[in-house]
Structure 1
Amino acid sequence: MAQEYKLKGITSLALKPGEKLEAEVEGLDTKVLLLNAGGNVQAVGSRCTHYGAPLVKGVVGANGTITCPWHGACFNGKTGDVEDAPALDPLPVFKAIERDGAVYISGDAAVIKNGYRKPNFQCAASGGDKVLVVGGGSGALGVIEGLREKGFRGAITLITNEGYLPIDRPKLSKALMTDLGKLQWRDESWFKSGSVDIVNDEVTSVDFATKTVTTKTGSKFAYTKLVLATGGTPRALPLPGFRELGNIFTLRTVHDTKKIVSVIGEKGKKIVIIGSSFIGMEVAVATAAGNQVTVVGLEKVPLERVLGEKVGAIIQKGVEAKGVKFYLSASVEKAEPSPSDPSVVGAVYLKDGTRLDADMVILGVGVTPATEYLKGNSQVQLEADGSIKVDESFSVIGLEGVYAIGDIATHPYHGPGGDGKLVRIEHWNVAQNAGRTAARHIVDPTVKPRFYTPVFWSALGSQLRYAGNTTASGWDDLILQGDPDQGKWVAYYAKGETIVAMASMGMDPVMAQCAQLMSLNKMPTKTQLIGGLDVLSLGPPE
C-alpha cells in the first residue's frame, strides 16, 4: 500500500533538467534518486538494477534518460523502463511532492526498499505469431523479455543446448563463477509465467521455405517468426598436442568453468593462458592469486588490437602487478604431455624454443559465429566469417520473418564514424539490445530502430569501461586524459576529428556521458579534447 515518506535533509524540488540528487528515505534505511527527467521531477530507485551501481554517479540526459556509470544500462527517467542493456528490471518510480519546507515521496515500502520492479512479463499465450528463439544467451533473453514487455501475446519457444537457462555469461571469465543460482538471470517459473516453452536440445538444420527447424533429437518445430541467437564457438588451436591432451580448456559455458575450477583445486597451479584477449586477460586476473599464471600473446602488448599499444601497456602494467607474467609477440608451437600423466598437458613450447611448464592451459584466442547448422543451406548466404548479414532491425537480408542477433550478426553501424558500415560486435549488451530491437520489430515493424551505443566492461585488476566502436572506421589518433599511474584515465580514439570510441578506468561517469553523447552523435571533436575539454563539463546531453 502506498504511503508518504519524508526525504531526509531535502527541502526543495528545484532541480534543473538533467540534475539529480540522492536522498535518504526516513524510516526505511534506504535511498532514492530525485531527478528532473525532461522537466518532470520525481524519484526513482537509486541503484542500477543490473549490478547495483549508484545512479547518482550516472548521467541524466536532457531527454530524461539516465545511464548507469558502470556498464551503460540506460533507463527512462520518467517511467523507469529499461532503455538499454544490460539491465533487465525497470526502476520503480515514485511521485515527489514539496510541502512545508520538506519533500515527500509516495510509494509502497517494500518497493522503495527493493529499488527495482519486475517488467510486464506474465502472459497466457493466445494464438497469433509463433516466435522460435534458437540459442540461450543474452540476445535470446533480450528478445523474449522485449516481446512480452511490448505486449506480444503469441507463443514463444526457446531452444537451447547449454543445459541451463540464460546466464550472466561475463561472470564466467571475470569471476570463474559456477553457481547457477547466482548466474541464471531468471528461473524456470519466470519463463513459465510468460508462457515461454523451454526446449533443451540443439538445432541441426533450418528449412526457411517451410518455416521449420530440426533438432539433434529429430524433433521439428514450426515458426512464423524465427530469431537466431546461437552466439559464438571458442576457437581451438590446430597445433600438436592441443586436441589430444587433457587439462586444455576453452571458456564459454558453465560446464567449461566448472572443469577449470576443478583442476585449479586448492591453487598452487602453473596456468598458461594462450591469447591476450579480454577473455584471456580476465581469466589471468581471476586466477592470479595463489597460482603461477603466464599469458602468451601474439601482440606487442595485451589487447593491442582493440585498445592500441599505449593503453595496452597501461593494462599490462596493472595485471603484472598481480603477479601475472607475459610472453608477447610470441607464437605457440606445441603442447606436450605431463611426465607423470601422459593424458594431460605438462608444458607448452613457444616457437622460439621457450618451455612453459603447465598444469593446465586455457585458450582465449577468440570465437567464431556458431552457425554450423546453416552451412550448406542454399536458402541463406553466410558471410566469409560465418556470420549472417542483417539490417538495422536485425532482420536477415533476403529472408522474411527471420532475425539474427548477437555474435552471429553482421549489421550496419550508425555510431560515430560508422556511416552504416557492416560490423560484427561480440558484446553482451549489443546482443541483448539487438534482441530488444528484433522484438520491437516483430511487434510493430513500422517502428524505426534506435541506435544503441556499444558498451562493454572488463575486470582487469581495475574495471575497464569502453563505449563506441572502431571496427567500422578504424582510428588514427589517441587522446589520453588523466593519470594512468593513479588508475584514473580516459582514452579517446579518433578518426580524423571524430571520436569513435573511448576507454577508461577509475572515471566511470565519463563512460556514461560518452555513451549518451555518442548515441546523439554529439561527441566533442579531437581538437577540443586535445585542448583539455572535460566531457562532464558539457552538462546533460541533449
Structure 2
Amino acid sequence: MGGCFSKPKPDYISEHLGAFRKEVEDENRLAQLSSGPLPGCSSDTTAHHPCAGGPFLPCGNQGATFSPAPRHVPSRPRCRALDAGATARTARGGFSPQTPAPSAWKHPEINPRWPRPPRPLAGGAGVLLEARGPGRTGARGVGWAGGSPPPRPPAVELKIEVVLPEKDRGKEELSAGGKGSPRAYQGNGTARHFHSEERLPAPHPYPGAQDCVEAAVCHVKDLENGQMREVELGWGKVLLVKDNGEFHALGHKCPHYGAPLVKGVLSRGRVRCPWHGACFNISTGDLEDFPGLDSLHKFQVKIEKEKVYVRASKQALQLQRRTKVMATCISPSAGHSSSTNVLIVGAGAAGLVCAETLRQEGFSDRIVLCTLDRHLPYDRPKLSKSLDTQPEQLALRPKEFFRAHGIEVLTEAQVVTVDVRNKRAVFKDGFKLEYSKLLLAPGSSPKTLSCKGKDAENVFTIRTPEDANRAARLAWGRNAVVVGAGFLGMEVAAYLTEKAHSVSVVELEETPFRRFLGERVGRALMKMFESNRVKFYMQTEVSELRVQEGKLKEVVLKSSKVVRADVCVVGIGAVPATGFLRQSGIGLDSRGFIPVNKMMQTNVPGVFAAGDAVTFPLAGRNNRKASVPHWQMAHAQGRVAAQNMLAQEAEISTVPYLWTSMFGKSLRYAGYGDGFDDVIIQGDLDELKFVAFYTKGDEVISVASMNCDPIVSKVAEVLASGRTIRKREVETGDMSWLTGKGS
C-alpha cells in the first residue's frame, strides 16, 4: 500500500474484537496466579497509545511484580486528552481512539495491565499512530506476549490523529531550533508520528508456581499501625508494613547502598532510609526522595484466616531494586546530529536524574548528555572515601542502560559558549548543537593553592577517578599531606591512614568542620583522627610547596613549620564551573552561581539549572536563596527540572541530607545549618554517640548524629512535613517525639 492508509473493514474488526478481548481476559486471569513480571512491565517495554499526548501516568506496577492496589492500576484508564476537550478524528473512515484497533493486541485501553504510553514535552499538539496489521511481533509497543494468537488476516492500516484544544497549542514547542523536526512535538497543530517499528517488545512470560514463593509471614495482630517488620519469605526477605490498617510488602533493602529499611522511618505513607534519607512510597515502592536511582519491588499481600500472606517472584526477592519503565528514543541522531530536543550540560547526579525522569515520564525524543569526564556518570562522593576504587565500580548505570533508553552521552566534551537567542551550544572543538530545552548542571571546580610549587606532579585535587587512584598509589607507604579539613579533606585523610606512612592535615580554622558542625563536634572528630595517627597543623596555611625534579618533597607552612610530603591532596573548597556562561545572557550572581526559582528555571525561558552551581529558594528557610552542594539535593533538582520541561509545574521542596564515613563510623546530617547560633548536644561526644541540634533563634534548622540512627532521618521527615522544631523541645533531652514509631 506504500504510504497510504486503507479504510478498516468493520466486519473484520467486529469479528476479531471479541476473540481479542477473550484472549486479554485469559491473560489477566493467568496473571493473577503470579506476582512475577507482567507483560510489558519491564524497564525496556513501552506501549504507544493513540492519545499519547495526554498526561498518562506510569503504571505503579513497573518492575515485574503484581500488586492488587487499585489506585495505580485502574481497570479502565480514561484518555485525559479527550477529557480535556480534545477532538478525535480518523482518516478515511477509521475509528476513534477509544475503539480497539485490530493491531493493538496489547493496547492499554483494553488491557489495563499494559504499561502507560509515553507523552510529549510541553507544547505537544497531537499524535499520529500508524498500526500496520494485527499481531506483528516486530512492532514496538504492540505484538503478542502470551497465549495462542488468532490467525493473521489481511493487513489493515489505521491512521488516528488527536488534536489538542486550541488553548494548549500556544505553549512553547520543543523542536530543535523551532523548526519542523521529524522528532519534535510541534506547537502549530501538526501531528506527532509514531511507527510500529519503534520498539521491539521484551518477552516476559508469566512465571509459574516454581518461579514464585508464597507464605504466611505473620498474624494480623502481630503488627500495630505504623510498625514495620522484616520477614522471611522463601530464600529472601521482605519489608512488611502496616499503615492505616493495611499491610504492604516491599523490598527490604534501600537500593542506594543496601540499608535495612526496617530501621528507617515510617511516616506519611512512605518509608525513609535510615542511612541517607531516600524515601519510598509504601503503596507502590516508587522512589519519592533521593539519593539513589531505583525503586523498590512491591509484593502481593492477602489476608486469610487472620494470617498475612505475601507472594513474590524469586527474581524480585534477589534483585532488591526496580528500575522504572522508561520510554525509548524514537528520534535517532543519525542525520540530525547537529540538533537535539534536550541538551544536558553535566553528567553528575542532576544531569543523569533529569535524563532518566524525562524517559520515565514518557518523553521519547532525543536527549544528549555531555560531560568533561571520560567516564559515564559515576558515584562521585565515593572518590574521597575510597580513593583506589576503579571507574567501572563507581558507574551509576552500565553503558547498556544508556543505549537501551536512547540517552546519548558525549564524554570529554566541553561546552565553551551558549547562544540562548539561537538555542545553540558551542563545544571546545567547534562542534555546535542546537537544543530546544537546556539543563545546566556543570557542577563545581576545585580551588587550588596559589603558592609556589602548586603545579608539582604529585599535588592533587580530587576531581576524577584518575586523580583519586593516582593519589592513593603515590601515598602508599609514604608521607601524605592533606590541605583542608572539610568533608573531602577529612575523608581522604581517614582513608590514607591505612595506606600511607604518615598523614598530616593543614587547616586554617581551629578545628575541623568548625563552620559546618561547630567547634564541639569538630573537636570530638579531631580526637578520633588523632587516635588514628593523623597529625594536625591548625590555624595556619601553606606558604610554599618545595619541589625537586618536578616532584613535591616538603610543605612549608606560614607558621614556619616544614612537613615532609611525597603526595599532597588539596581540599579547600570549590567554585561553580560557570565561566562559560558569562557572556550568554544567563544570569549569574557575584560568586558565579546560577540563580533559579523553585522550578529550577533560570532567567532565560527554556533554560534550567541544577546541582552544585545553583542557588535556589530553600523551602525550610523561608525561601532564602541558598547553595546546597549535596549529592542528594542534586538528584532532587534534576528531577524537578525534568518535570518542568514537561510543564508539570513541580517545585523543589526536599530537605537537604548528607553523610560521611570515617574509620568505620558514619555521620549523618539533615537540614540547612548556615548561620546557626547555638548547638544543643544530646548524648556523649567522647564516645561519638550523640545528636547535635543546630538552632537559630528559637528554631532548630539542622541536625547531625553519630551512632544514633534513625534520628537524623526522623528529623528530616519532621522538617519535610512542614513542622517547625523549637529549641525548647530538644533542650530537655526528652526525644520521645523523635524516636516514636509511625507518623
Fold shared, TM-score > 0.5 on shorter chain:
yes
Distance in 2 (CA, whole Å) between partners of 1:454 and 1:37 is: 26
Asked whether the equivalents of residues 714 and 739 of structure 2 are also in contact (C-alpha less than 8 Å), the reply is no
Q: Give 1:154 deviation, angstroms.
A: 2.2
In structure 2, distance between residues paired with 1:312 and 1:498:
22
Report the Cα distance in structure 1 between the residues aligned to 2:326 and 2:574, rounded to whole angstroms: 33
Counterpart secondary structure, 2:518 = helix
Distance (whole Å) between structure 2 residues aligned to residue 235 and residue 93 of structure 1: 45
The counterpart of 2:286, out of the listed 60, 81, 85, is 81
Q: How does 1:253-402 map to 2 (within 5 A)?
A: 253-264=464-475, 267-291=476-500, 292-338=502-548, 342-377=549-584, 379-396=585-602, 398-402=603-607
Could you give the per-residue CA deviations for residues 50-108 of structure 1, whole angstroms, max 9, x where no partner exists? 000000000010x2111100011111111111111112110000121232453221221
Contact 1:8 1:24 in 2 (8 A): no
Q: Deviations over 1:175-210 (max 9, x none)?
A: 114322210010111011111112121111100000
SS of 1:452's partner is coil
1:532 to partner: Cα distance: 1.3
Q: Encode CA deviations 1:317-344: one digit per residue, 9 max, x unaligned.
A: 1122211111111121111014xxx211
Pick one of 343, 356, 373 that aligns with 1:132.
343
Q: Which has the higher strand share?
A: 1
1:413-465 CA distance string (max 9 Å, x none): 111xx1111111110011111001111111234x3414101101111221110
1:438 maps to a residue whose letter is A
Shift of 1:221: 0.9
The residue aligned with 1:451 is 653
Partner SS for 1:486: coil
Structure 2 letter corresponding to 1:300: E
SS at match of 2:374: coil
Q: Which amino acid aligns with 1:32?
A: V
User: Greater CA deviation, 49-58 or 457-466?
Assistant: 457-466
Give % identity. Answer: 35
Comparing 177-186 with 502-511, which one deviates more in the overlay?
177-186
Partner of 1:428: 631
AA of the residue aligned to 1:352? S
Q: TM-score, normalised by structure 2?
A: 0.69
Q: Given residue 69 of structure 1, which amino acid in structure 2 is its aligned partner? A: P
Give me the whole-angstrom Cα distance separating, in 2, the residues matched to 1:332 and 1:503. Answer: 31
Give the match for residue 517 of structure 1.
Answer: 718
Q: Identify the residue that residue 462 of structure 2 maps to in structure 1.
A: 251
For the residue of structure 2 that corresponds to 1:133, the secondary structure is strand
Kept after mapping to 1: 8 A contact 2:353/2:638? yes
1:143 maps to what in 2? 354
Alpha carbons of structure 1 residues 484 and 6: separation in structure 2 relative to 1, 3 Å: farther
Task: Spell out, residue by residue over 1:476-522, the C-alpha distance to the aligned partner (whole angstroms, 9 max, x if none).
Answer: 11111112233211100011121100011111200110111111122
Aligned to 1:20: 228
Q: Offset at 1:357?
A: 0.4
CA–CA distance in structure 2, aligned partners of residues 151 and 368 of structure 1 = 35
| 1:374 to partner: Cα distance | 1.2
Cα distance between partner residues in 1 of 2:242 and 2:340: 40
Report 1:52-201 matches (<5 A). Answer: 52-61=258-267, 63-126=268-331, 130-200=341-411, 201=413
Q: 8 Å contact 1:122–1:193 — kept in the other structure?
A: no
Q: Distance in 1 between matches of 2:330 and 2:492?
A: 42
User: How many residues are aligned here?
Assistant: 525
Partner of 2:422: 210
Work out whether residues 472 and 496 of structure 2, in 8 Å CA contact, stay in contact via their aligned partners in 1. Answer: no
Letter in 2 for 1:497: D
1:538 Cα offset (Å): 4.4
Q: Which has the larger radius of gyration?
A: 2
Is the 2:215–2:311 Cα contact (8 Å) retained in structure 1?
no
Report the Cα offset of residue 37 of structure 1: 4.5
Give the TM-score of the pair, scaled to structure 1.
0.93
Tell me the CA shift for residue 536 of structure 1: 2.7
Displacement, 1:353? 0.5
User: Structure with the greater relative contact order (CA < 8 A, sep ≥ 6): 1 or 2?
Assistant: 1
Q: Tell me the distance in 2 between the aligned counterparts of 1:419 and 1:523.
A: 12
Alpha-carbon shift at residue 361 of structure 1 (Å): 0.5
Q: Secondary structure at the match of 1:508?
A: coil
- The equivalent position to 1:463 in structure 2, one of 648, 666, 669, is 666
Secondary structure of residue in 1 paired with 2:402: helix
Write the distance in 2 (CA, Å) between the matches of 1:253 and 1:7: 48
Q: For the structure 1 residues 179 and 8, does the alpha-carbon distance in structure 2 shift closer, same or farther, using more than 3 Å as the test? A: farther
- 1:514–1:523 CA contact under 8 A, matched in 2: no
Mapped partners of 2:650, 2:550: distance in 1: 56
User: How far, CA to CA, are the matches of 1:483 and 1:24 in structure 2?
Assistant: 36
1:523 Cα offset (Å): 4.5
Structure 1 gaps, min length 5? none
Deviates further, 145-154 or 348-357: 145-154
